[in-house]
Homo-oligomer: A and B are copies of this chain.
């Protein structure tokens, strides 16, 4: 591919958008960034024209324009987008070559993607708040528990520079935004020595820096 025209729809503080921003930057994939605002005017993602592209009304969304004669393809779900980018732009890789290592990368990514993030995203927190519960405490609970367990799991396997191998991967694309979320919700990050060590190594890459929320055109600081 490479000739296809890609548009990423992103929101600066969305951790799932950030995952994809890292991958596109890491692989230097040419693309256009479009932003929508998840809170303004009740949430721009709920407007009809956006929902026609993504019925789940979420970011990120990758619009793939294959050519003038074909309809664009709208691809949602950050994990599906990350795998698509990996298949179409394999170099530099974000998945190892060895099958068991690839499996471990996906395992860690999914611990975050399905085990933590869905419980702290904005629609879940809105629902928790409607119960007159402290939605910040709820988010903090799930992130703390999930990353505590991930840290314990990784403690036995400290011999690599990054989570699974000596290179960053899709797992780090998920971890770095989740650590940002952990701090935002007031988690105690101090016990996560392995996660913080990997985070520090990641943040030495331009791709992990340029993709940060505060470096986005729609950032509100």
Spell out A's residues near B (CB within 8 Å): 1, 54-58, 64, 73, 75-81, 83-84, 87-88, 99-100, 102-104, 106-107, 109-111, 113-115, 117-119, 124, 127, 131, 133, 138, 141, 146, 149-150, 152-153
Contact = CB atoms under 8 A, between A and B. Distances in A.
A37 to B, nearest CB: 21
Nearest to A133: B131
- Which are the 10 A-B pairs with shortest beta-carbon distances? A80-B106, A77-B110, A118-B118, A80-B107, A84-B103, A55-B153, A55-B149, A114-B114, A77-B107, A55-B152
Copies of chain A in the complex: 2
Contacts of A79: 79, 106, 110, 114
A119 B124 contact: yes
13 contacts: A55-B150, A55-B153, A56-B111, A56-B115, A56-B149, A64-B100, A77-B106, A77-B110, A84-B100, A84-B102, A84-B106, A88-B99, A127-B141
Q: Does more than half of chain A's interface fall in helix, strand or loop, or is it mixed?
A: helix
A133 B124 CA distance: 15
A80 B56 contact: no
Contacts of A150: 55-56
A20 B149 CA distance: 23
Nearest to A119: B118
B76 A107 contact: yes
Given A55-B149, A149-B55, A149-B56, A1 B99 contact: yes
B76 A102 contact: no
